[in-house]
Amino acid sequence: MLKRILFITILACFSQVNAQELNCQVSVITDAKLEITTTEKEALTQLEEVLFDFMNSTKWTKEKFNIEERINCSVQLQINNIPSPGTFSGSIQVMLSRPCFNSSYNSLVFNFLDNDFAFAYSRNSPLYYAKNSYRDNLSSVLSFYALYIIGLDYDTFGPNAGTPYFLEAQQIVSNAQASGASGWKASETGKRNRYWLVDNVLQQLFQPLRDCTYAYHRKGVDKLYEDKKAGVKEIYKALLKLKPVVQTRPNTVNIINFIYCKSDEIKILLSDSDTRQKTDFVNLLKRLDPGNSSKYQAILN
């Protein structure tokens, strides 16, 4: 028995020291109409394993994580085209969720579809994160999102706690701009790419969004277990912080994504609220995201 206890203790210590930051689920799917050779199919099958290892085995921070502290996220690659042997294009969808205190519930923090994604990959090609240089688009895109979601997760637990990781993600953007790959430049059509995701979050103008992110989770959802009414009120107060950003920069990708992630959650939380509270939330959400007013109106039903 003593030997068993000692073994478990050593194993626990080993797990704590070696646990990496991410608990990332990875999938690679292809368009059903896409014609794929046997070689390409084998490469994509291996790619899924390589991506899983890259996201979950890379040491992204200097912090020590226990197994249960890992950040829950997912990455899904959708392959829509194979322009030439060994090159692929399509989209990447990245999601981040965050556990709520004293609950099995996870709150969705980030759910983003990046359509500007093309990369080269051949079997047995390793992926590496190179902090100060650009190696290839696949490694850079994955590294960017790994650091970006770590930054978001940290922001939910402490005011501006994610800044070091956002800055590192921004460095990846800077390194990749000369590559010619899409998604890295401010000048590209629209403002829904990687450049703007991280540039916005680091601007002083968007500080209210980061204040909201912290308050929504630490003062809101983390309090639902002990006092749901108080937690819901704090969530409303947190969302109010977004008004000055929306007035100055309406429809920015960061704000829209945040509200999109929280809309279903808010609807569930308000299921037993009175009409007045529901109306206050609906009116606020419509001001923050007028393009989805009909969705928020459904909260009143």
Question: 48-67 pLDDT, tens per residue?
Answer: 999 999 999 999 999 999 99
Confidence tier at 273 by pLDDT (50, 70, 90): very high
* pLDDT tops 50 at residue 8: no
Long-range contacts at 241-250 (CB < 8 A, ≥ 24 apart) = 241/208, 241/209, 241/211, 241/212, 241/215, 242/208, 242/209, 242/212, 242/288, 243/208, 243/287, 243/288, 244/208, 245/205, 245/206, 245/208, 245/209, 246/287, 246/288, 248/205, 249/200, 249/205, 249/206
* pLDDT tops 70 at residue 25: yes
* pLDDT tops 50 at residue 125: yes
3-state secondary structure 11-24: HHHHHHHHCCCEEE
Confidence tier at 270 by pLDDT (50, 70, 90): very high
What is the helix (H) or strand (E) element at residue 93, kind and residue range?
Answer: strand 87-99
pLDDT number for residue 6: 35
d(CA 55, CA 21): 9
pLDDT number for residue 97: 98
- Which positions ≥6 away from 166 have C-beta within 8 Å? 147, 148, 151, 198, 201, 202
Per DSSP, the three-state class of 89 is strand
Per-chain mean pLDDT for the chain: 92
pLDDT number for residue 190: 82
Give the distance from CA 299 to its chain's centroid: 25
pLDDT number for residue 18: 55
pLDDT number for residue 3: 33
Crossing angle between the packed helical segments 228-240 and 253-269, to the nearest 10 degrees: 160
Q: pLDDT tens for residues 154-193?
A: 999 999 999 999 999 999 999 999 999 999 999 987 889 9
Question: pTM of the entire structure?
Answer: 0.92
pLDDT number for residue 7: 29
Alpha carbon separation from 23 to 53, 96, 260, 265 (Å, rounded): 11, 10, 23, 22
86 vs 6, higher pLDDT: 86
Q: pLDDT tens for residues 135-155?
A: 999 999 999 999 999 999 999
**Mean pLDDT for the stretch of residues 116-142:** 93
pLDDT number for residue 149: 98
pLDDT number for residue 13: 43
Q: pLDDT tens for residues 202-246?
A: 999 999 999 999 999 999 999 999 999 999 999 999 999 999 999
Written as six digits, the tokens of 92 are 């990447």
pLDDT number for residue 99: 95
